[in-house]
């Protein structure tokens, strides 16, 4: 079995984590000779470790072990990129039906008579990766929903859950452009000039001036989006081949009665094409074969088309579906 091969490659910490989780699941399962889904005790683990310590390797080995035992293990992650790392994994919002906007009373859209609810009642372990990226109210919504689906008032409805990640990889989130407070000893130990020389060594700058081709494999960083657009267009013009311009088909939403009957809310179909908003593709997208594109939405997870995935355009690309997505702002936007 795959999990046996992986287990032989574990270091001592990975073996300890794997054995602890499996032993707890087995002892709970054997005590009642029933599925873990009927457990009345909360079983929640947290696997913590810095980047590169093999947390993902443990997750996949646990998933392989459960399937070899004919048990159900669901893998979810807080982002599309993280879900690519686990076998059969989907984002937590997609798999668990977590609402986009959550509050202290939110619950997941998961009726008790749905197929997903039946699957969750039979599930033996949920592996949840990258949990520090998730709002705590998302976990509260999942906990509230699991308790209802499984008719069990213990944490997560008694369903065993393995959470994991490294909090050190998540920077603090501040509201209203507040500044991150820095420890006082930083300014006493290092001067600004030392920091500049450390980040931009003179030797490196001289190498760039004498050998501009060394920048070919480097990324260009800029603080303004319009500068990014200008650089991308300049690079695109330098590429060989014929450019193809794709025009968006945006239109205003008149689904509510007030906007449908009031001429003041009327917007021409040409007006949305004049807007270039953050986190949206441009109204006029110019492409060439060989140029690099980045996805902004999860288009086709089965084929690896996730948000923030970079890809090269080729002549073999096929249009398999046309998206019609309704995007509206929230009340507090």
CATH of the domain at 110: 3.40.50.300
Rg (CA), the chain: 25
Do 160 and 203 lie in one domain? The reply is no
Do 147 and 18 lie in one domain? The reply is yes
Residue 34: predicted pLDDT: 44
Q: How many whole angstroms separate alpha carbon 311 and alpha carbon 158?
A: 42
* Total of domains in the chain: 3
Do 12 and 156 lie in one domain? The reply is yes
Do 198 and 115 lie in one domain? The reply is no
Do 142 and 233 lie in one domain? The reply is no
Do 165 and 213 lie in one domain? The reply is no
Do 209 and 264 lie in one domain? The reply is no
Rounded to 5 degrees, φ, ψ at 89 are -90, 150
User: Which residue's entry shows tokens 């065993």?
Assistant: 160
Residue 12: predicted pLDDT: 94
Is residue 7 included in any domain, yes or no? yes
Is residue 180 included in any domain, yes or no? no
Residue 279: predicted pLDDT: 64
Do 193 and 148 lie in one domain? The reply is no
pTM above 0.85, yes or no: no
pLDDT along the chain (333 residues), means of 10: 88 95 80 47 89 92 93 92 86 91 91 92 94 93 94 91 88 70 63 77 75 74 84 88 82 66 67 72 82 72 61 58 57 56
Do 156 and 14 lie in one domain? The reply is yes
Determine the structural domain holding residue 212 and report its residue range. 188-218
Rounded to 5 degrees, φ, ψ at 246 are -105, 130
Residue 58: predicted pLDDT: 95
Is residue 27 included in any domain, yes or no? yes
Residue 29: predicted pLDDT: 55
Is residue 174 included in any domain, yes or no? no
Do 201 and 243 lie in one domain? The reply is no
Residue 11: predicted pLDDT: 94
Residue 318: predicted pLDDT: 54
């Amino acid at each position: 079995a795959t999990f046996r091969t992986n287990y032989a490659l574990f270091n001592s910490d990975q073996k300890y984590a794997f054995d602890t989780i499996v032993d707890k699941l087995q002892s709970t399962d054997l005590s009642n000779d029933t599925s873990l889904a009927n457990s009345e005790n909360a079983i929640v683990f947290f696997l913590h470790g810095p980047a590169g310590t093999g947390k993902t390797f443990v997750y996949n080995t646990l998933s392989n072990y459960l399937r070899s035992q004919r048990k159900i293990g669901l893998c979810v992650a807080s982002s599309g990129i993280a879900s690519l790392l686990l076998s059969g994994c989907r984002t937590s919002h997609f798999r668990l039906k977590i609402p986009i906007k959550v509050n202290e009373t939110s619950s997941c859209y998961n009726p008790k008579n749905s197929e997903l609810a039946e699957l969750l009642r039979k599930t033996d372990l949920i592996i949840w990766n990258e949990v520090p990226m998730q709002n705590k109210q998302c976990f509260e919504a999942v906990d509230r929903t699991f308790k209802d689906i499984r008719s069990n008032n213990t944490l997560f409805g008694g369903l065993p859950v393995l959470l994991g990640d490294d909090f050190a990889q998540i920077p603090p989130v501040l509201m209203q452009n507040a500044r991150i407070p820095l420890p006082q000893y930083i300014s006493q130990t290092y001067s600004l000039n030392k920091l500049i020389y450390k980040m931009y060594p003179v030797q490196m700058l001289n190498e760039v001036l004498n050998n501009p081709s060394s920048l070919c494999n480097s990324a260009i960083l800029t603080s303004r989006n319009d500068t990014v657009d200008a650089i991308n267009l300049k690079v695109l013009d330098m590429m060989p081949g014929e450019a193809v311009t794709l025009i968006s088909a945006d239109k205003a939403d008149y689904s509510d009665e007030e906007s449908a009957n009031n001429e003041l809310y009327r917007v021409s179909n040409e007006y949305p094409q004049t807007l270039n908003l953050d986190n949206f593709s441009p109204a006029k997208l110019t492409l060439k074969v060989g140029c690099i594109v980045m996805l902004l939405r999860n288009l086709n997870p089965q084929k690896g088309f996730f948000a923030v995935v970079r890809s090269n355009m080729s002549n073999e690309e096929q249009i398999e579906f046309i998206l019609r997505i309704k995007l509206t702002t929230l009340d507090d936007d």
